[in-house]
Amino acid sequence: MDAAEFGELKAFLAVYEERGFRRAALRLAMSPSALSRTVRSLEERLGVRLLNRTTRSVAPTEAGSALQSRIAPMIGEMEAALRDVGSFQANPRGTVRVNLPQAAATAIILPKLLDFTNSFPEVRIDLVLDNNITDIVARGFDAGIRIGTQVSPDMVAVRLTPDFRMAVVASPRYLERVPKPHVPTDLIHHRCVTYKWDSTGTLFPWSFDGLSGKATVEVESVLTANDTNLLVSAATRDVGIAYVAEVVAQPYLVDGTLVRLLEGWCGLMPGFHLYYSSRRHMPAAMRAFINCVKL
């Protein structure tokens, strides 16, 4: 059914229910003559008279009554469905699906989650932890969170955090057994735990930028994993040195479980950004989520 055919059926139904073209025209915000032409077009297409008309009254034919009994419930359901869908735009409700790495979930979403759920009790947040570069549209996500350099230029991006520093960290017990590294090249003599993207098998580069210049070191990775929390946990258990985002290591640095190394060599990484495909017709739940988590 195309839009014109649906419009004809709605016009007929209005005239049937109002028992007159003038009242039905007011209801549909159109002229009586235009409404009469629309109903006549439907009758001609079906090849049957649906309404008997006089100058004073309108009454359905047997065919008209039969048609009304079949289409009225369906059109009523369709109009109710459209109203329900429209309410997603007016009132924050429904589910917001977000694809994001573990670090972003811990540092950005969790601290704001209680306030958001209290403010918008009809919104459900579906977080899928994923450290790969994922096509959020193809996978059915409303939004993704990644560091700025990983966001495709065809996406709408909203900055969530300032740029952040990296941190080289190790446990005090590990450092009791080996000399502390003073420059990045010292790391080649250490056991290291390294992030590895499972989609490509690529290792996160140990790249540094200090007063003496830039350096990239090929470390000995005794452990690789695609989860930064696991790498930090391994470092706290004296397995080796980890190179992770400062925000991930910060709680362990505060309580002394880990200590920082090569601090003067650790530069900035682009901050986290939330990204999505389009601003057009954004559901209210998505808009509320963005407003909650952005800077």
DSSP output for 102-115: HHHIIIIIHHHHHH
Say if residue 231's pLDDT is above 60.
yes
φ/ψ (deg, to 5) at 43: -65, -40
d(CA 36, CA 48): 15
Say if residue 279's pLDDT is above 90.
no
Q: Is the dihedral of CA 62, 66, 72, 73 positive or negative?
A: positive
Strand 259-261 to 164-170 pairing: antiparallel
d(CA 218, CA 105): 29
Domains 95-160+272-293 and 164-269 share a fold: yes
Confidence tier at 98 by pLDDT (50, 70, 90) = very high
pLDDT in tens, 200-225: 888 999 999 877 788 999 999 999 99
CATH number of 164-269: 3.40.190.290
Domain 3-90 coded CATH 1.10.1300.10: no
Whole-number average pLDDT of the chain: 88
Say if residue 291's pLDDT is above 80.
yes
- For the chain, the structural domain boundaries read 3-90, 95-160+272-293, 164-269
The most confident of the ranges 56-60, 102-106, 236-240 is 236-240
Say if residue 184's pLDDT is above 60.
yes
The pLDDT assigned to 235 comes to: 97
Q: The whole model's pTM is what? A: 0.62
* Ranges 43-52, 247-256, 279-288: which has the least confidence: 279-288
Residues 6 or more apart in contact with residue 236 via CB below 8 angstroms = 171, 252, 257, 258
d(CA 277, CA 290): 13
Neighbours of 131 (CB within 10 A): 20
Q: Half-sphere exposure of 110 toward its Cβ, with a 13 Å CA cutoff?
A: 8
* Ranges 30-44, 213-227, 281-295: which has the least confidence: 281-295
The pLDDT assigned to 147 comes to: 85
Q: What is the percentage of the chain residues whose pLDDT exceeds 90?
A: 44
The pLDDT assigned to 27 comes to: 86
Confidence tier at 88 by pLDDT (50, 70, 90) = low
Which has more pLDDT, 286 or 133?
Answer: 286
Class of domain 95-160+272-293: alpha beta
Say if residue 103's pLDDT is above 70.
yes
Confidence tier at 73 by pLDDT (50, 70, 90) = confident
